[in-house]
Structure 1
């Protein structure tokens, strides 16, 4: 058996920690040859591998490979040919050759490789927004005023600022426990997020016209059949669908307008599933608070009015980019591998 991994720098550009994990996994099955191409290389796989006819498993990560190349790997039993950072299949001409020769080929079954990272990050955004953690962190760098909890005149008043109370009562605040968390989505990311807030004691409900019934049970979220009803009593509203032709703008201006005043909106997948114009208007009018890792404009201009606001928590679209997600990317490929036959 002979296993070879070919890596183009373009793959490392997106997944800089993935290959080291893949090598570690594949060493469980025997020796592994790692070939790293130089930047800008257009050399084909069959040109960079010594004696390609003896290779039984080929992992080709962003390296150039053609149907003719496959022909030179005459002992090949299985392969991975990845050309993008998301789910990708080999070119149709290559698939035809692989199928004709009964060569097993693997691709990403889902985008679950980064779902844990994104869902945990979304939970972090939620807690940060409820408790104003980033704003307070920034404020105490330049001022001691946040440490002063006294009310005017030093007389305590119902509902006023009190000892060690730094939340903003105009918006959803305090604990996740007890909050009505309303989630659009029940897929890889949304179901995990729902399970987290459910575990913390939230009243979690989800609407997803694309998900199967078991998704809701696994998430610990009540299935809501109507989006309008989901929105009506939200305290925390979390749209968590991927962006597709069917989901673009699925949260309409009317839906955003119907959100109760003070609702916290959490964006951690794609912003354009929402009518961002109306969402921006309500946030800027202090009617909603926002915790977002994704935006309608990326990168946000430094003079964007959403930046630095008392009711906005913002990060630069990196929720899914962890070393763990890198590892999971290749682990989900490796899990599919079948034992190689000794030739």
Structure 2
């Protein structure tokens, strides 16, 4: 999708040369350049999933702007680019998949609140979930009744009115917070580095202390990227401070939390979990989290959508200098198996 979208964007300015390498072709810029007819007037270049060496770049003396994604551009090649004053564009943030990841976070939250995956699976094998009769035929508070699906051991029901507590006001956390706010939740966010507008736009109250954030959470969503400074940031003491019954939503990276503490509390039925990311991936089939009544899980699918890949391309294409139609040759080389962002 990324390579195709680049081509569509550039077609508005001219007719780019587009080369998609076959599986049997060498995954090199030279191979794509030869298939494009070995043009020497290339001014702008996008290489996705291919290696670009100094020798590959040597003939491209007119090159002024370039992107190298998903492939290797070695030190000698980078030196040549610098010598020729070629501008090499890179992603300025990971906002390109913020919408995709945050929407999955919302979906997992709603799934867990209403036990949708569990009930979906149960009615494939049995009609018992359709039996709304209360135990022994006598209605009781908090007991099963007509269409009632809550598990009152955990945060259940509507998102409206719930205390949603988010760690991180970046591309993902701020979007998730805004979704929860739009559906009527009471939202607070902890992020000591985010500017005030990030909280305002998300409809969230700024919480100054992580200890206070976790203490009253009904839904807890740590949504940070994994870096050296965020690894294990949500330590065991914060996991242990979450109220019993709290729903934990993880869609960025599991390792920002103390995963052993999280597992311990989930397996003890003290917390519910809605997760797209795990400490071990793929999650073993015999892992005790798999299929558990208080766990909703997906196989790390939150970020990668065709829409996110198009956004990835747009974020890079938008950095190229504006040019009029009727350009010199534009070249894009892509390996069919490696043309998308990680």
Trace 1:90-109 onto structure 2 (pairs within 5 A): 91-109=74-92
Which residue of 332, 339, 342 corresponds with 2:315?
332
Counterpart in the other structure of 2:67 = 80
Which residues of structure 2 form unaligned runs of 5+?
329-342
Secondary structure of the structure 2 residue equivalent to 1:30:
coil
SS at match of 1:54: coil
Conserved 8 A contact 1:46-1:72: no
The equivalent of 1:302 in structure 2 is 285
Match of 2:211 among 207, 225, 228: 228
Note the residue ranges of structure 1 that are not aligned, 5 or more in a row: 1-16
Equivalence for 2:331: none
Matched, 1:244 2:243: no
**What secondary structure sits across from 1:53 in the alignment?**
coil
Alignment partner, residue 69 of structure 1: 56
SS in 1 for 2:12: helix
Contact 1:56 1:340 in 2 (8 A): no
Paired with 2:29 and 2:255, the residues of 1 have a C-alpha distance of 39
- 1:309/1:127 Cα in 2 relative to 1: closer, same or farther (>3 Å)? same
Asked whether 1:55 is paired with 2:31, we answer no
Number of residue pairs matched?
323
Q: Cα deviations across residues 95-150 of structure 1 (Å, max 9, x unaligned)? A: 44334333222111111111111100100000000000000001111111111111
Residue equivalent to 1:4:
none
Q: Is the 8 A contact 2:10 2:16 kept in 1?
A: yes
Q: What is the CA–CA distance in structure 1 between the aligned matches of 2:132 and 2:176, rounded to whole Å?
A: 34
Alignment of 1:18-167 (within 5 A): 18-39=2-23, 41-42=25-26, 44-46=28-30, 48-49=32-33, 50-83=37-70, 91-167=74-150
Distance 2:240 2:40 in 1: 63
Tell me: CA distance 1:158–1:240, structure 2 relative to 1, closer, same or farther (3 Å).
same
- Cα RMSD of the aligned pairs, angstroms, is 1.8
- Contact 1:46–1:73 (Cα < 8 Å) also in 2: no
Listed one character per residue, the Cα deviations across residues 177-219 of structure 1 (whole Å, up to 9, x for unaligned) are 1000000111111111011001111111111233233222222
Q: C-alpha offsets along residues 26-80 of structure 1, whole Å, 9 cap, x if unaligned?
A: 1001111111223364464245423342111111112121234333211112111
Greater relative contact order, per chain length (Cα 8 Å cut-off, separation 6+): 2
- Counterpart Cα distance in 2 of 1:44 and 1:312: 44
8 A Cα contact 2:27 2:49, kept in partner:
no
In 2, the alpha carbon distance for the partners of 1:93 and 1:216 equals 44
With over 3 angstroms needed to count, the CA separation of the structure-2 counterparts of 1:271 and 1:335, relative to structure 1, is: same
Distance 1:43 1:239, change over 3 A: closer
Whole-Å Cα distance in 2 between the matches of residues 297 and 167 of structure 1?
A: 29
CA contact (8 A) 2:166 2:220 kept: yes
- Is 2:25–2:31's contact at 8 Å kept on the other side of the alignment? no
Match of 2:265 in 1: 282
- Could you tell me which residue of structure 2 aligns to residue 12 of structure 1? none
- Could you say what secondary structure the match of 2:189 adopts? strand
Tell me how far apart the structure 2 counterparts of residues 156 and 29 of structure 1 sit (CA, whole Å).
69
Q: Is the 8 A contact 1:70 1:94 kept in 2?
A: yes
